């Protein structure tokens, strides 16, 4: 299902050359998640569904869970980078996939929602530093991925939105991490309005830590990565565990958000809005 981290890329790698490498990998690899490591212990996970704007379906979510489990135990991995292949970071949940899951019945729907909740929780609690390199727009669940990472760097052309309510859905699975990242007041506004906001606004909100032009993105990324690699790995892991304990999130949070997600997905209102969205996209 997932591509194992057996591709070694020498570092530093120029941004342009890196883009060529990733394009070539995408052309020859249909796996939903690409994984590559360099000699410094930096492992990059690349969402690899560019034809679907890197939307999250069951296969991609399962691949992320699998790799996070492996990398947490991999002593050679010091830092994980999460990014997207193509011009979009992640467009959120794959609505066509959601339709299929809901049609399969209540059990399949709930299990899929639980897998998504488990993936977000694993990413948020991952023992090593995780850096999001936001290469383009992010919507819905894509914003959840960003909020679950320790550090986020975004290209200045990126746009963001919590689009769930306009589709008759609820951002239940990602809501705890979004609220932690940007605060309850801003979370209320943006999750209820589903309005779009810019990379600059994401920086002001605290959703991302750095915004850079495409030309300067490599330099900003390299500087932040260098800071992370100067840290002592055990101390970094312990720092993350301490910060997680201070948040005091309920251990049943994953189940609660998954159940809410599955319940709303199955409503007639959600079904009609999702179908209308998919129909508009098909006719574009």
Structural domains of the chain in order of their starting residue, each with its CATH number = 7-215+226-283 (3.90.226.10)
- What's residue 47's pLDDT? 98
Q: What is the pTM of this model?
A: 0.84
Q: What does the alpha-carbon distance between residue 239 and residue 141 come to, in Å, rounded to a whole number?
A: 26
Question: Is the pLDDT score of 184 beyond 50?
Answer: yes
List the alpha helices (DSSP H) in the chain: 15-28, 58-73, 95-103, 106-125, 141-148, 175-182, 184-193, 199-205, 217-230, 233-247, 253-265, 268-283
Q: What does the alpha-carbon distance between residue 189 and residue 192 come to, in Å, rounded to a whole number?
A: 5
- What's residue 251's pLDDT? 60
- Tokens found for residue 68: 């996070």
Question: Is the pLDDT score of 31 beyond 70?
Answer: yes
Question: Is the pLDDT score of 282 beyond 60?
Answer: yes
Q: What does the alpha-carbon distance between residue 9 and residue 132 come to, in Å, rounded to a whole number?
A: 19
Whether omega for the bond prior to residue 177 falls within 30 degrees of 0, making it cis, is: no
pLDDT, tens digit, 9 for 90 and up, residues 109-127: 999 999 999 999 999 999 9
pLDDT, tens digit, 9 for 90 and up, residues 74-121: 999 999 999 999 999 999 999 999 999 999 999 999 999 999 999 999
- What's residue 260's pLDDT? 76
Q: What mean pLDDT comes out for the span 137-150?
A: 98
Q: What does the alpha-carbon distance between residue 116 and residue 137 come to, in Å, rounded to a whole number?
A: 20
Whole-number average pLDDT of the chain: 88
Rg of the Cα atoms in the chain: 18
Tokens 């709303």, located at residue: 264
Separation in Å, CA 270 to CA 7, 111, 142, 178, 275: 41, 18, 19, 22, 8
Q: In what order do the strands lie in the sheet with 79-84?
A: 7-8, 33-37, 42-47, 79-84, 130-134, 151-155, 210-212
- What's residue 249's pLDDT? 62
Q: What does the alpha-carbon distance between residue 8 and residue 11 come to, in Å, rounded to a whole number?
A: 9
Q: What does the alpha-carbon distance between residue 147 and residue 168 come to, in Å, rounded to a whole number?
A: 22
Question: Can you state the angle between helices 253-265 and 175-182, rounded to 10 degrees?
Answer: 120
The CA angle 210-89-39, to the nearest 5 degrees, is: 75
Higher pLDDT, 19 or 150: 150
Higher pLDDT, 229 or 9: 229
Model confidence at 25, in pLDDT bands (50, 70, 90)?
A: very low
Q: What mean pLDDT comes out for the span 49-60?
A: 97
Question: Is the pLDDT score of 3 beyond 50?
Answer: no
Single out the residue of 248, 12, 272, 241 nearest to residue 129, CA to CA: 241
Question: Is the pLDDT score of 283 beyond 80?
Answer: no
- What's residue 277's pLDDT? 82
Q: What mean pLDDT comes out for the span 2-20?
A: 37
Contact of 46 with 34, CB cutoff 8 Å: yes
CB atoms within 10 A of CB 183: 12
Higher pLDDT, 199 or 269: 199
Model confidence at 256, in pLDDT bands (50, 70, 90)?
A: confident
Single out the residue of 136, 203, 193, 137 nearest to residue 165, CA to CA: 193
- What's residue 20's pLDDT? 34
Helix, strand or coil for residue 54? Answer: coil
């Amino acid at each position: 299902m997932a591509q194992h981290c057996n591709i070694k890329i020498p570092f530093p790698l120029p941004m342009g050359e890196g883009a060529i490498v990733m394009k070539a990998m995408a052309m020859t690899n249909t796996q939903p998640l690409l994984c590559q490591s360099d000699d410094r212990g930096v492992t990059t996970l690349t969402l690899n569904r560019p034809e679907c704007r890197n939307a999250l379906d069951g296969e991609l979510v399962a691949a992320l869970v699998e790799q996070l489990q492996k990398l947490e135990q991999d002593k050679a991995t010091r830092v994980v980078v999460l990014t997207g292949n193509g011009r979009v970071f992640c467009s959120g949940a794959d609505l066509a996939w959601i339709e299929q899951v809901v049609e399969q019945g209540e059990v399949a729907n709930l299990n899929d929602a639980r897998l998504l909740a488990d993936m977000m929780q694993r990413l948020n609690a991952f023992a090593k530093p995780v850096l999001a390199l936001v290469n383009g727009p992010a919507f819905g669940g894509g914003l959840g991925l960003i909020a679950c990472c320790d550090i986020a760097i975004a290209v200045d052309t990126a746009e963001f939105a919590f689009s769930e309510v306009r589709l008759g859905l609820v951002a239940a699975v990602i809501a705890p991490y979004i609220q932690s990242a940007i605060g309850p007041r801003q979370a209320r506004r943006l999750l209820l309005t589903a309005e779009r906001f810019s990379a600059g606004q994401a920086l002001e909100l605290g959703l991302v830590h750095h915004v850079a032009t495409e030309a300067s993105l490599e330099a900003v990324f390299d500087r932040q990565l260098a800071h992370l690699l100067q840290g002592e790995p055990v101390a970094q892991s312990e720092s993350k565990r301490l910060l997680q304990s201070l948040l005091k999130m309920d251990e049943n949070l994953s189940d609660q958000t998954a159940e809410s997600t599955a319940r709303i997905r199955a409503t007639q209102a959600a079904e009609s809005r999702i179908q209308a969205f998919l129909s508009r996209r098909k006719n574009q």
